[in-house]
Amino acid sequence: MKPEKNNSYVKWGLTAFCVVAASVFLWVILRNLPGFFGVLQDLGKVLSPLIYGVVFAFLMNPLVNFADKRLAPLFRKQKKKASSANKFSRGLSILFALVFAILILYAFFSMLLPQLYVSIKGIVESVPTYYASIEKWVKNILENNPDIRSYADTALQNAYDYINNWANTSLLSDMQKVITTLTTSVYAVIKTLANILIGLVASVYMLWSKDTFQAQAKKMIVAIFHPHAADNLLKVGRETYKVFNGFVIGKIIDSAIIGVLCYLGMVILKLPYPALISTIVGVTNVIPFFGPIIGAAPSALLILLVNPLQSFYFIIFIIILQQIDGNVIGPKILGNTVGISGFWVLTSITLATSLFGFAGMILGVPVFAIIYMLVSDAISAALRRKNRPTATSEYYSIKQVSDLTPQPDPAAASEQPPEKKNEQENPQ
């Protein structure tokens, strides 16, 4: 009996220690909340190459799985050892995913850069015309309105005095600030490119060893936790993978459909740059909530430089297209993969983007969906233990706990003898 008592004391001691440690940690966070978020931001900067790697790995994982499922059986027939066949298949699958991603990027930039060049060239060539039109318009206004002309002359004189004073006093110090800003910006761009390159290499390692990592995680869980707790953790892992994988694949398919529909709509409406703009809209649609805005804003500006009226038509078309996507296409493809409301989508993207940048935009929603699922399951389990309803609809109109209808305990019902169950199910 002594060993059992000792084990019980150890468990109670560990539980008490964890509760006290969690309480102290939460108290420290609440006392210095800005500092805590600052630490998270610094941690996000340090881990940004690995975060990029996780993003790239998740984006390429469907392609790797697609190729691996088809290549592995072929190589197993030709090779005696299954392990070498699996390795060869995995390597070719990763190479296929990398080549496919590079071709997509090449096709995107090969459409983007020439059309940007044509647009910028057209703007430069039209500058004299724009200047002449503005000059004529301003001249007509000033000639017909002497009061406005007097104000304009005064404003021009003040502007000249300010520029002259700035050139003689603050130009040198401001130039130093500009040079410092440019240097910092160049360094930030180089650092981001380096992080992306490291993340790409890390994603290859992740995709190559994903089965090993999965097996090691399961091994650790089984070694540390009680069988019941280990089964729950393995279930959480499967649900996590289901949410992430379903979200990534669903978003890619959804974005491809939106890109094609955008191209067809722009061709029908005879809007300029249909291939370029539909590619931008399709790619940015991968980002939840903010993606359509990020894609539509520069596209509308690009059309505005060609024809302002067509830019207005494009904005209306994109609003209609995004409504169709949000209410018809997206729910059909994604289903209940994420399972959180629009408010929590906005909250998760805002928080994750502020902490982890672009990677947070893509991974913020599925990560928050996992946290939401875990909290929801824990609350439902606690309510079932108290024989309370788990449906949210039961809590809209209650004023006190006694208003709730007690729910039968499934565990207690399963322990009843068959005769008792039949009496309850078929009362005379």
Grouped pLDDT means (10 residues each) for the chain, 428 residues: 54 69 68 64 74 82 85 76 80 89 82 70 70 73 74 75 72 68 76 85 88 88 86 86 78 85 90 83 79 83 81 91 80 64 74 72 77 84 83 79 68 49 46
Give the pLDDT of residue 428: 42
SS3 of residue 37 by DSSP: helix
Cβ contact 225:233 at 8 Å: yes
Give the pLDDT of residue 405: 73
Give the pLDDT of residue 154: 78
What is the b/e burial string over 365-396, where b = at least 16 CB atoms within 10 angstroms of the residue's CB? bbbbbbebbeeeeeeeeebeeeebbeeeeeee
Cβ contact 108:295 at 8 Å: no
- Six token digits for residue 395: 């809590």
Give the pLDDT of residue 147: 73
For residue 232, the number of C-alpha atoms closer than 13 Å in the C-beta half-sphere is 9
Give the pLDDT of residue 420: 47
Contacts with 275 (C-beta within 8 Å, 6 or more apart), sequence order: 111, 263
Give the pLDDT of residue 342: 66
What residue spans of 225-357 are helical by DSSP H?
227-269, 274-284, 291-304, 308-324, 330-334, 342-356
Give the pLDDT of residue 424: 46
Give the pLDDT of residue 316: 92
Give the pLDDT of residue 33: 60
